[in-house]
Amino acid sequence: MIINIAHIHPMLVHFPLALFPVVLGIQFYVLIKGQSLFSQNCAQSSATGLLALAAVAAVAAATFGDMALDKAVASGVKLSLLESHEDLGQASATLLVLMALAGGWLFKVQEPSMKVSWGFWLTGVAVFVVLIITAWHGGHLVYDLGVSVTAKGR
């Protein structure tokens, strides 16, 4: 049995959706302890690594999302139904990559400023809101409109 390429996208989207809240949770813990997010300690190192992993997963999800979109359109789904989810997915992946790059750089230079740390975390919360909106649109497409869903084997 070969996996339908359109099914890889929903498998991948769960990685950034699961990893990024863990990143934000670790970062919040670090911040309430009064530490910079970018000092090289275990928690900060873990959060930076998980952020990079979430960004890579988001790019993979967006890439396979484009392929899933093409298959959905080929099967008769109107492109207009998919465009907002596609745009949000691209924005989510881009924002996560930018956060990972900025966070990696700040971690490398060991930025000690608490203002920068709190600003970075609040930016992450805003990015998480974009991720949740993107996920809601994807869920609406699948569960409400039945995009890429077949009723086989009943």
pLDDT for 40-67, tens place per residue? Answer: 899 999 999 999 999 999 999 999 999 9
DSSP state of 144: I
The distance of Cα 11 from the centroid of its chain, to the nearest Å, equals 13
Whether residue 153 is predicted with pLDDT greater than 50 in this model: the reply is no
pLDDT for 77-103, tens place per residue? Answer: 999 999 999 999 999 999 999 999 999
Contact between 137 and 88 under an 8 Å Cβ cutoff? The reply is yes
Rounded Cα–Cα distance for residues 107 and 127 (Å): 19
In which band, very low, low, confident or very high, does the pLDDT at 6 lie, cut at 50, 70 and 90? confident
Which two structure tokens, joined as six digits, stand for 135? 């996920």
Whether residue 154 is predicted with pLDDT greater than 80 in this model: the reply is no
pTM reported for the whole predicted model? 0.92
Contact between 65 and 16 under an 8 Å Cβ cutoff? The reply is no
Q: Is 38 exposed, middle or buried (0-12, 13-18, 19+ CB in 10 A)?
A: buried
Question: Tokens 């919040």 sit at which residue?
Answer: 28
Q: Dihedrals φ, ψ of 50, to 5°?
A: -65, -35
In which band, very low, low, confident or very high, does the pLDDT at 1 lie, cut at 50, 70 and 90? confident
Helices (DSSP H) in 2-154: which residue ranges?
5-12, 14-32, 42-74, 79-109, 114-139
Distance of CA 93 to CAs 47, 57, 75, 77, 137, Å? 18, 8, 26, 24, 15
Share of the chain above pLDDT 90, in %: 88
